Amino acid sequence: MQQLTGLDASFLYFETANAPMHVGFMMIYDQSTAPGGRVTFRGILTNIEKRLHLARCFRQRLVYVPLNLDHPYWIEDPDFDLEFHVRHIALPRPGDWRQLCIQVARLHSRALDHNHPLWEIYVIEGLDNVPGLPKGSFAIVGKIHHAAIDGVAGVQIIAALHDLEPGAEPARAKEAWSPDAVPGTAELLGRTMFNNIIYPFRLGRVMGESAPAMARLRQELQAREFKTPAPVPRTRFNGSVTAHRVLDGRSFDLDAIRAMKSAVKGATVNDVVLAICGGSLREYLLSKRELPRQSLLAMAPISVRTEAQQGTGGNQVSAMVVPLHTEIGDPLERLNAVHEGAVQSKALTQAIGARMLTDYGQFVPSALAGLAARMYTRFSLANRVNPFFNTVVTNVPGPQKPLYFCGARMVTTYGMGPIGDGLGLIHPVFSYCGQITIAATSCRKQMPDPAFYAQCLQNSFDEMKAATLGGSKVGEPAVPGASPSEAAV
């Protein structure tokens, strides 16, 4: 039995009917590499069952404290049923990229059942008309609640499901799994009473540890070492969201993006990705005649997971806010400006202390946070208050060696993220085996044309490549989502 931290629990409190707080992934496989060239659903169930011990979130479900007087607890689910979590569907003919994106978006729209461990996996077949895929390819679409994992923990779960060789077997569990007894009301209230007694001492310790960082930040702000952030402009993505989701994305050559960053001294791969997202947002909003004069701002999560926390679930993240410089049309000039803004934001985050968000997150009031989230939605406050930022760009480095699931080689993977009122667009970025995918999850009302936005991503990449690499041949796409014609409506 393990209590959620305040930061983990906040993803439960801020969940509403229109804004489920789970993250997701879509991984596509070539089953010709599997034994006999074929993967069965029964084989998939068996393979996942052998790996349940490799990630705690697979068999842990929530137990809520009465009246939400304290944060919930994880317990090992005594009623765990693997077949509830793993499901099998197929696309209708013709089975193309657009159909796949629509189906995955529908799955991503549905909230997870809090009476079970907070994850689901869908096996999707019938992809034979997705260009760039071998015949017989299938997709695995996963959903895991953000209360259970952050981006780095998500990569570790992906690693738990895969092998580095087609015929490899997972390591056996060191000890047999045993479920927990469901705690009663008296036990939960007793734990709550104890937590309330030690609460002031824990808060005092965190405040004492953060005092030097705040003093240092005040000194550096007085010395004007940091630029104060500009006001965040409002866009179509910063209002109330509906319950309907859309998604699409593009895949690019990782070596090309690495080469692009060399055009600006000190720039990183993440800077290039941010500049590409800035270019795509610029083109998209220009097409709607809605581009603000000021730069849009992106929140970029930062992992603060220590070596000792590797392999654990939950969220160990901080964040920085970076201008995307959507007001700049020249790609190279935009990249240079994004890099300068990222340097400033990183310095500010380091001055504050990257772990401060997670340290103070544990003191989020449980009942009050849930009430605030419901009022924020009910009164459509997202349409009245200024946004904190316009979008999220979360970059998760993945493995650069081929991964295998039931012997089938992973071809590519795309991420999916949660959106909510005031934040209707997120860009999950994932690198794998020499490719990097930039996806977009949004509200169907705010982005009725996701294929066009994916084309804007492609156009922004092409413009950045031309501006930084000229006529270089580096970066020819060869996976789903890379060709402009594949995601056309």
Residue whose C-alpha is closest to residue 124's, from 165, 80, 92: 92
Residue with tokens 């007894």: 181
Longest Cα–Cα distance of the chain, Å, equals: 70
Amino acid in position 353: G
Please give the full DSSP string across 451-480, using - where no structure is assigned.
Answer: HHHHHHHHHHHHHHHHHHHTT--TT---ST
C-alpha span between 205 and 220 (Å, rounded): 24
Q: Are 81 and 71 in contact (CB under 8 A)?
A: no
Helices (H), 353-448: 356-361, 366-378
C-alpha span between 473 and 165 (Å, rounded): 31
DSSP, res 149: B
Task: Catalytic residue, from 22, 108, 146, 427: name it.
Answer: 146
C-alpha span between 150 and 191 (Å, rounded): 26
Q: Are 377 and 135 in contact (CB under 8 A)?
A: no
C-alpha span between 434 and 255 (Å, rounded): 7
- Any catalytic annotation for residue 108? no
Residue with tokens 């936005």: 453
Q: Are 28 and 251 in contact (CB under 8 A)?
A: no
Q: Are 320 and 394 in contact (CB under 8 A)?
A: no
C-alpha span between 441 and 430 (Å, rounded): 14
Amino acid in position 182: V
Residue 194 CA: distances (Å) to CA of 6, 70, 200, 207, 432: 16, 11, 11, 21, 46
Give the H/E segment covering residue 251: strand 245-253
Residue whose C-alpha is closest to residue 300's, from 342, 256, 358: 342
Residue with tokens 């005649």: 289
Backbone angles phi, psi at 62, to 5 degrees: -85, 150
Residue whose C-alpha is closest to residue 465's, from 482, 440, 442, 489: 482
Q: Are 26 and 414 in contact (CB under 8 A)?
A: yes
Going through 55-164 in order, the beta strands assigned E by DSSP cover 60-63, 73-76, 86-90, 119-125, 138-145
Q: Catalytic residue positions?
A: 146
